[in-house]
Amino acid sequence: MSNPFPQVKRILLKLSGEALMGDDPYGIDAPVLQTVADEIAAIGRLGIQLGIVVGGGNIFRGLKAGQLNIGRVAADHMGMLATVINTIALAEALRAQGCEARILSAIQMESITEPFSRERAVGYLEGGAIVHFCAGTGNPFFTTDTAATIRALEIDADVLLKATKVDGVYDADPVIHPEARFFGRLTHREVLEKNLRVMDMTAISLAMEHGLQIAVFNLRKPGNIERFIRGEPVGTLITGEKT
Ligand code: UDP
């Protein structure tokens, strides 16, 4: 099917590992995985080119290194491998829906995934596959938000869509502080200056430097990605300048 929303041709979708966890404290919840895959497959069917970065926080985060008495670098390696587990699960859930899904990894593991290259990614996107970028940046001390920003820039995505559990960006966690102020529009600079916890500073700085727009939206509301693509006001839009 051809893309009915020509202003958005290529998206990079960032899901945290927790997006696959549901209400459980750990791991992948089967009904949640299915719901997320339904939502993503529907976007793929609109003819939008879709790249996906999934985090690993539902399985392991490098910040746990101290508790386990292992080094931070080794712990980050574990965290990056956790993203591979999540990515394989999501790619399989999409394949079960008839989508073509490709997995490109920042860490070489060629019996399971293909190595990442920009050319390979763009080729698959143009061929209609949903392209998963796993293992983060391949480097310790980074996050998958930064990996998502780098991949979005590398593939020339029109927007980085950052999925969350709330409706967008607030000045405090709205789950704990119901009076928190919601922002419909922000600049990258405002995110940094107000120290808003959207993505880590490395990711936001990189997005600011290269003019990458970021849309933060609630993944738990079905149809939100499509609403954004149609141009409806969904979540928070972060751009270089407010127009
Ligand atoms: N990680 C890393 N380098 C990267 C991306 C991720 O070392 O480029 C590790 C890091 O330990 C991190 C873990 O992988 O804690 C899981 O990623 P992240 O915390 O970004 O996942 P999310 O919060 O999105 O689920």
Tens-digit pLDDT profile for residues 51-97: 999 999 999 998 888 888 999 999 999 999 999 999 999 999 999 99
What is the predicted pLDDT for the residue at 24? 84
> pLDDT (tens digit, 9 = 90+) per residue, 200-229?
999 999 999 999 999 999 998 999 999 988
Question: What b/e string do you get for 121-156 counting C-beta neighbours within 10 Å, with b at 16 or more?
Answer: bbebbeeebbbbbbbbbeebebbbbbbbbbbbbbbe
Ranking 55-59, 120-124, 228-232 by mean pLDDT, the lowest is: 228-232
For residue 145, give the ligand 1 atom closest to its CA: 20
**C-alpha closest to that of 117 among 127, 105, 109, 125:** 105
Split at pLDDT 50, 70, 90, the class of 1 is low
pTM as predicted: 0.96
CA–CA separation, 100 and 91 (whole Å): 9
Supply the pLDDT for residue 2: 63
Mean pLDDT, rounded, of the chain: 94
With a cut of 70, say whether residue 18 has pLDDT above it: yes
Q: Mean pLDDT, to the nearest integer, of 165-193?
A: 95
79 Cα: distance to centroid of ligand 1 (angstroms): 5
**Cα distance between residue 49 and residue 203, in whole Å:** 22
Please state, in angstroms and rounded to a whole number, the distance separating the CA atoms of residues 237 and 229. Answer: 12
Tell me if 19 CB under 6 Å of ligand 1.
Answer: no
- The predicted model gives 1-9 an average pLDDT of 74
| Tokens describing residue 208 | 């600011």
2 token code pair = 């051809």
- Cβ of residue 116 lying under 6 Å from some atom of ligand 1: no
Judge whether 209 and 154 are in contact, CB under 8 Å: no
Query: What pairs with residue 30 in β-bridges?
Result: none
61 touches ligand 1 (CB under 6 Å): yes
Which ligand 1 atom sits closest to the C-alpha of 141? 7
- The rounded Å distance from CA 142 to ligand 1 centre is 7
Tell how far CA 81 is from the center of its chain. 16
Q: Domain locations in the chain? A: 10-239
Whether 137 lines ligand 1, by a CB cut-off of 6 Å, is: yes
Range with the poorest average pLDDT among 134-138, 155-159, 162-166: 162-166
pLDDT per position as a tens digit, 86-98: 999 999 999 999 9
pLDDT for 36:
95
C-alpha–C-alpha distance, residues 151 and 53, integer Å:
8
27 CA from centroid of ligand 1 (Å):
15
Among 54, 64, 80, residue to substitute to test ligand 1 (most atoms within 8 Å of Cβ): 80
pLDDT at position 243, please?
A: 65
| pLDDT average, residue stretch 216-243 | 89
Question: How is domain 10-239 classified at the architecture level of CATH?
Answer: 3-Layer(aba) Sandwich (3.40)
